[in-house]
A and B are shown apart, each in its own frame.
Chain A
Amino acid sequence: MSRARACAAIAALLLGTAHRVPAQSVTAWRDSTLALTARYSALRDSIGRADSTLAEAGRRGDLAMASTLPQRQFAARLLEDFAELRQRRFGEALPDDRGFRISVRTFESRSVFERFDGRDRNPGKVQLTGLSGSGRDVERYERVDRVYSILVQAYTEMMFESLPVTLRKWLEFRPPLEMEETNRRYVAMYSVATGVGRAERGCIDSHIADCAYVLRLRESTDSAPGGTYPPFVRADLLLFALDRGGDSAWIRFRNAGDVLPIEALAAASRLEPDSLILAWRRDILGLRPTEGVLDGRGLLLALGWGALFLAGALGVSKWV
């Protein structure tokens, strides 16, 4: 009985409404589907990026740092260090007009016991964002004490890739900014001082044309000039030029366009090309050790400790 009643109700509904419901056009369906897909993508993107475990750790200019809760203080310090380095080397320049985002999943060193269970110790996440963060996106997984180095590496890599082709070819690799500056310059100085090619020795002897050749800035007139300096040394020249150029030096270097590297370096440093090369050469060779293997301070210290040990021997030799 009830079944017959239900069938009748459905039949009445269909008969009553069929002519009043217009069929939807294909275009409307397609637009609706596209809108729904776009909204879904945005939502998924938002969930993926705006990690709910992350909280803001600090802001500085156009940079923002977020991290998981236990890493917040650490992340705030990282932001300060990173912002300082970025300001010194790149000014306000960004690798992409739409900004960037560098995410690092972190873990701490594990004790002897924890190494056996294969779990991460104090896992966390640190996320550095520039502007809206919708431009370049980099993700890494690293021990917490290496996060700063990773941030610098990733950022420098992005900045390197934003350079015109000519300058990228000249540099070959991104500048190794994650290295401690004294060490980096010391390695560069050794590369320069131990160069054995004719032009390399000529550069040490103050021949500017040889320096320009070994830095791959100009061609050599010599028929057998020998080898050129490694990319590490060219990166040192770039960083020297940026230091000399001060504010916006990187922007001037990058915006010089597809010109010769020497012109871009001159624009960055605001120096004449030859003056820049001479200043750099003087600076890098000035890092050579000025003292021999022995200094007066070490001499006094060793003699002092020698005397102290003798006094100790006199004191501890009470055999009876």
Chain B
Amino acid sequence: MLKAMIRLQWRAVWHIVAALTVAGLLLPLASVRTGWKGGLTNLPNFLTELQLWGLLYPALAALAGVALAAGIWSSDRRGHHIYALTLPIPRWRYVLLRYLAGLTLALPIVAAVWLGSVIASETLDLPAGLRIFPHALAAKFALALIVLFGFAFAIAASSSRALGIGVRFLALLVAVHLGVVMLYPKTNILWSLVTGLATWPGPFAALGGRWMLIDV
């Protein structure tokens, strides 16, 4: 059943997977090649540029997570979930199969990031004192992808009613935030919320922290 689901989803999102895999492979290579222009004489700038390139890893994970989740559920949403409801399996099992198939399709992207990182770091002649993290970087990328895919998957799988409630809640939050900012400029509800979500133990803490392929 899982194999059939993977095949089904592959047909729906193969172009997204292929594009993101290529991006995952090229990202570490491009980050190292563009930053290494000055070689050893430009080490501080190299690390600074690498740090800036590092911002693209969580961005790629976010893009991959959202694109995969949306692609996986697009046919179901178009068909108002009639296909899923006619299958002789419980709903939870169907959702679980979709989830596992989605994670399987994310594997090539993670593997590409790992391979790109290994190739990029092995081609440099770094001075003593600098360390490389190709495996840890790929693992961090995988974790960020799991979290973001899970989040986007939950949204994409939700019923129209649940989605409506979510959107209304979000609109209310933004309205309250704007009102509060106008009256009390020092209070920023939205920023506090984003900070809470993106730092330990928030769900998106995996996106933060250091994304350095090479560091001191």
Residues of A that sit less than 8 Å from B by CB: 109-113, 189-191, 193-196, 201, 204-205, 288-289, 292-294, 297-299, 301-303, 305-310, 312-314, 316-320
Residues in chain B within 8 A of chain A (CB atoms): 40-44, 47, 80-81, 84-85, 91-92, 95-96, 99, 127-131, 133, 136-137, 139-140, 143-144, 146-147, 150-151, 153-154, 157-159, 162, 181-186, 200-201, 203, 205-206, 209-212, 215-216
Contact, CB under 8 Å: B143 / A289: no
Contacts of B140 in A (CB 8 A): 293-294, 298
Residue A190 contacts which of B44, B80, B203 (CB distance < 8 angstroms)?
B44
Q: Which residue of B lies closest to A204 (CB)?
A: B129
Is B215's CB under 8 angstroms from A196's CB?
Answer: no
Most B-side CB within 10 Å, residue of A297, A299, A303, A310? A310
Asked whether, in the complex, the Cβ of B99 is within 8 Å of the Cβ of A313, the reply is yes
Q: Complex: how many Å from CA A113 to CA B95?
A: 50
Q: A293-B136, A316-B154 are in contact. Are A301 and B40 (CB under 8 A)?
A: no
Residue of A nearest to B129 (CB): A204
Instruction: Name the prevailing secondary structure of the A interface residues.
Output: helix
In the complex the two chains form, what is the Cα distance from A297 to B81 in whole Å? Answer: 38
Nearest chain A CB to B74's CB is how many angstroms away? Answer: 15
Task: Flag if B150 contacts A313 (CB, 8 Å).
Answer: yes
Residues of A within 8 A of B205 (CB): 298, 301-302
A236 vs chain B, min Cβ distance (A): 15
Say which residue of B91, B136, B146, B183 sits within 8 Å of A302 (CB atoms). Answer: B146
Separation of A113 and B178 alpha carbons in the complex (Å): 13
* Inter-subunit contact B203/A298 (CB<8 Å): no
Name the contact of A317 in the complex, choosing from B147, B157, B216 (C-beta under 8 A): B157
Residues on A with beta carbons closer than 8 Å to the beta carbon of B129:
193, 201, 204
* Structural contact, A303 and B136, CB atoms closer than 8 A: no
A113 and chain B: residue at smallest CB distance: B182
Residue in contact with B185 in the complex, picked from A112, A293, A312, CB distance below 8 Å: A112
User: How many A-B residue pairs lie within 8 Å, measured between CB atoms?
Assistant: 132
> Using Cβ atoms and an 8 Å threshold, which residues of chain B touch A194?
43-44, 47, 216
A289 to B136, CA, bound (A): 14
Interface centre among A113, A301, A302, A314, by most chain B C-beta atoms within 10 angstroms, is: A302
CB pair A302–B206 under 8 Å, yes or no, is yes
- Across the interface, name the chain B residue whose C-beta is closest to A205: B128
Nearest-Cβ distance from residue B116 to partner chain A, whole angstroms: 15
Task: State the CA gap A314–B154 with chains docked (Å).
Answer: 8
If A298-B143, A303-B143 touch, does A111 touch B185 (CB 8 Å cutoff)?
A: yes
Flag if A319 contacts B211 (CB, 8 Å).
no
Q: From the candidates A190, A310, A319, name the one contacting B216 in the complex (CB within 8 A).
A: A190
* Neighbouring B residues of A294 by C-beta, 8 Å: 136-137, 139-140, 143
A196–B41 touching, CB < 8 Å: yes
User: When chains A and B are docked, how far (Å) is the Cα of A19 from the Cα of B150?
Assistant: 112
Chain B residues near A189: list those with CB within 8 A: 216
Given contacts A111-B185, A289-B216, A303 and B146 within 8 Å (CB-CB): yes
A96, B175: Cα distance in complex, Å: 55
Contact in complex: A196, B150 (CB < 8 Å)? no
Query: Can you report 19 A-B residue pairs in the complex whose CB atoms are below 8 A from each other?
Result: A110-B185, A111-B183, A111-B184, A204-B128, A289-B210, A292-B133, A292-B136, A293-B136, A294-B137, A297-B200, A308-B150, A309-B150, A313-B157, A317-B157, A318-B91, A318-B162, A319-B80, A319-B81, A320-B81
Cα A320 to Cα B161 with chains together (Å): 10
B47 CB, nearest partner CB in chain A, Å = 6
> Which 3 pairs from chain A and chain B are nearest by CB?
A309-B150, A193-B216, A292-B136
- B181 & A112 in contact (Cβ 8 Å cutoff): yes
Query: In the bound complex, how far is the Cα of B130 from the Cα of A11, in angstroms?
Result: 104
A124 to B42 Cα, complex, angstroms = 47
From B47, B130, B182, B203, residue with most partner A Cβ within 10 Å: B203
In the complex, the chain A residue whose C-beta lies closest to that of B127 is: A201
B147 & A309 in contact (Cβ 8 Å cutoff): yes
Asked if residues A320 and B85 are in contact (CB atoms below 8 Å), the reply is yes
The smallest C-beta distance from B83 to any residue of chain A, in angstroms, reads 11
The answer to whether B162 touches A309, judged by C-beta atoms less than 8 angstroms apart, is no
On whether A309 and B47 interact (CB within 8 A), knowing A316-B158, A318-B91, the answer reads: no
Question: Once the chains are docked, how many angstroms separate the CA of A320 from the CA of B84?
Answer: 11
CA distance A111 to B136 in the complex (A): 45
Separation of A190 and B210 alpha carbons in the complex (Å)? 14
Give the distance in Å from the alpha carbon of A304 to the alpha carbon of B215 in the complex.
Answer: 28
Give Cα A110–Cα B182 distance, bound, in whole angstroms: 10
Contact of A310 among B42, B99, B162, B181 (CB under 8 A): B99
Nearest CB in chain B to that of A115: its residue: B185
**Chain A, Cβ-Cβ closest to B207:** A302
Structural contact, B182 and A310, CB atoms closer than 8 A:
no
Known contacts A111-B185, A112-B182, A317-B159; is-contact A190 B146 (Cβ 8 Å): no
Q: Measured between alpha carbons, how far is A305 from B92 in the docked complex, in Å?
A: 18
Please measure, in the bound complex, the distance between the C-alpha atom of A201 and the C-alpha atom of B130, giving whole angstroms: 11
